[in-house]
Structure 1
């Protein structure tokens, strides 16, 4: 379903004074989000009216941002977006879109659903539940990502549940349902999430195939590829964190993974090559289409020999039609890195960390190392004297590496807690 570009988007391209970011500029601002989570754009006053319009804006008008992320003592993550002007902003982590009528700080996180409460109203969750706060009350509209296939008639049974702190719940009829989002106007702040009638038909939904690889550890050749079938609007970052807590270190393999799956129907997974040293278990699995078990593997592919590439295909059991297939590269160079001892692993990605680590993350890392007594006060002071960020990172890394495997492991763990996206990018996890 295509949407014509809104007049505000057209005028932004024709009038440079509106100062919309070009895509490359947006990408750069996202990459710098660890240093500057605020997005600073100059817009004319009439964008305030456009932002609060009842018309859904095309995605090209969204300005993507990466939120700043903090974790509490229980390791639950909270996201914050510091907005400096009205507009439409999409979170790169959760897919949420905030329509801002003015500047403000939006703080949000995912929270558990009360399934018993929903059952009393004959509803089922159809996406994550987000707890959203904005002290300035400047969010006027919210777009929650869904996974329905609108082109085939899906989405007509969707509503948005508004849950307050006392577990009171109301159900909001969407202002609009687009191909990707459910749109509502909001005036209050607490929990918002998409729900579906529990008697709604089992129509196909947009889904993702997520792959997590546990590489071989010398001298054993055995490795395991976990295959997850999940709804498209899961928060992938949450899936990664949960699996890391449950299964330890794994490599997330980013591949084209979108497909359409029928909830409550059975699928089979096949591999090529297919031999006695490659085992798929179980032979078949049901796609549940739920959000509570999104971190649990539907299939495991066990390799009892060293393999660098494998072809996977997913087949709908009833129709025997292939719904998804992909060639998967298990990245042997990175696999070897993940199998190395901590000191060698860090050395292998040392230059990438020195080049790419941001100033704020480096400062937070040094604070953590001091708290854990990995570095001394004198070493902290010596590092702070170094003005160049890369040189300071080099000093910190080499200082810790020279203290042995335990110190190196603590630094790696701390850096992964502070910026898991960066660590995954450089191959540290």
Structure 2
């Protein structure tokens, strides 16, 4: 069951996406100038720590999830419960299909979702997306739905039933370029004399970032997500080379080359690992097409200003929980990412560490102010509340 968590909404005008007043009425779903409202779902975890999203809708309209990018056209009020699940690759292969997006398990007891928009990463303006379909995975099998419409960002289908929905395309479809992400995860050393590393992931743009962060956190709680501009265009099955400056013995990139696979929507393993043998504040990284030597992504990556991570092992254990929060306060504010911060707010509400009014006050602020608000309000509530936050392991990951 889900706690009665507030789902915040922001309103936009389609297609211009200009903000409008929140209390404007949402027009009928069939209207071409229908208003799009963005919401932040409640996030819960089951016994196996798999995350599930909840959208509590109060009226008909068009709503976009800020975490997954999904858009729901609602014909009335209802509770939409959804999560990502692994693809049945063998079943897809029997139909000569392959994944072209995450597989979402979607449920709505009130049956009030009438249309679904699934994010894609194809370049429609250059002819991509011609082979896109939507797989509807049910207990009795699988069906493939021809899209009602394909926009620059979403595949649109009309739905009547629920269960699994995800974008697919033909196995033999052309390897046209797609919108992609270069995601960086940094593991600083506890000891400045030790080496440390950057994991570099090449993923299609329509992955759910929250799922990637959650998956990486499960592998290594001390790893930090580096929030840099990740966007680029990559060719599936193309080999890319990663280089780093300074190009000397202090930096080791392995492997030097890696192939981009567009079908990875569940296991998020790095394509490259960069080993840093000394403390650095900045490293210049470039991803290059191995065949043309054309640079497809180049960024100056800013690492921890101190070089050495203040993790739970370096915080004295004789401090009280609220003192421990104060000890890591600046690192928490600088380091925690927005999806993880939103998840933390939901967890604190679920554990009754904060109340609805405090949740609402928190979500109205930008990321750094929200992080400052969260750690300070929990710290001021005393040792019991501070212990809840420490036990959630949110202090030491980005």
TM over 0.5: yes
Structure having the higher helix fraction is 1
Contact 1:338/1:428 (CA < 8 Å) preserved in 2?
Answer: no
Matches within 5 A, 1:117-136: 117-136=91-110
- The equivalent position to 1:84 in structure 2, one of 29, 45, 58, is 58
- CA RMSD, 1 decimal: 3.2
2:122 aligns with: 148
CA shift, 1:365, in A, is 4.1
Q: CA deviation digits over 1:2-47, x for unaligned, max 9? A: xxxxxx869x99xxxxxx744xx6xxxxxxxxxxxxxxx4516xx1
Matches within 5 A, 1:219-258: 219-258=192-231
Q: Label 1:106 to 1:90 Cα distance change in 2 as closer, same or farther (>3 A).
A: same
2:191 aligns with: 218
Number of aligned residue pairs: 353
2:76 aligns with: 102
> Any stretches of 5+ residues in structure 1 without a counterpart?
1-7, 14-19, 26-40, 368-388, 402-407, 417-422
Q: CA deviation digits over 1:273-323, x for unaligned, max 9? A: 111111000011111112246510000110000101011110000011000
CA shift, 1:332, in A, is 1.9
Q: CA deviation digits over 1:152-182, x for unaligned, max 9? A: 111000000111123x111110011111100
* Bigger radius of gyration: 1
Q: Label 1:127 to 1:345 Cα distance change in 2 as closer, same or farther (>3 A).
A: farther
- The equivalent position to 2:30 in structure 1, one of 52, 58, 62, is 52
Matches within 5 A, 1:309-324: 309-324=282-297
Contact 2:56/2:79 (CA < 8 Å) preserved in 1?
Answer: yes
Q: Label 1:116 to 1:353 Cα distance change in 2 as closer, same or farther (>3 A).
A: closer
- The equivalent position to 2:90 in structure 1, one of 109, 113, 116, is 116
Secondary structure of the structure 1 residue equivalent to 2:379: helix
Contact 1:338/1:345 (CA < 8 Å) preserved in 2?
Answer: no
Q: Distance in 2 between matches of 1:352 and 1:309?
A: 18
1:185 aligned to 2:158? Answer: yes
Q: Label 1:219 to 1:334 Cα distance change in 2 as closer, same or farther (>3 A).
A: closer
With 328-337 and 339-348 compared, the bigger mean Cα shift is at: 339-348
Contact 2:187/2:198 (CA < 8 Å) preserved in 1?
Answer: yes
Q: Distance in 2 between matches of 1:296 and 1:359?
A: 28
CA shift, 1:246, in A, is 1.8
> Any stretches of 5+ residues in structure 2 without a counterpart?
1-12, 317-322, 334-340, 354-373
Q: Label 1:197 to 1:400 Cα distance change in 2 as closer, same or farther (>3 A).
A: closer
Normalised by the length of structure 1, the TM-score is 0.74
Secondary structure of the structure 2 residue equivalent to 1:332: coil
Matches within 5 A, 1:26-425: 41=23, 43=25, 47-48=27-28, 51-53=29-31, 61-166=35-140, 168-292=141-265, 294-333=267-306, 335-338=308-311, 341-343=314-316, 346-350=325-329, 361-362=347-348, 364-365=350-351, 393-394=378-379, 396-398=381-383, 411-414=389-392, 416=394
Contact 2:255/2:272 (CA < 8 Å) preserved in 1?
Answer: yes
With 339-348 and 174-183 compared, the bigger mean Cα shift is at: 339-348
Q: Distance in 2 between matches of 1:399 and 1:131?
A: 36
- Answer 1 or 2: higher relative contact order, Cα 8 Å, separation at least 6: 2
Q: Distance in 2 between matches of 1:391 and 1:201?
A: 52
Normalised by the length of structure 2, the TM-score is 0.80
Q: Label 1:359 to 1:92 Cα distance change in 2 as closer, same or farther (>3 A).
A: closer
Secondary structure of the structure 2 residue equivalent to 1:393: helix
Contact 2:37/2:63 (CA < 8 Å) preserved in 1?
Answer: yes
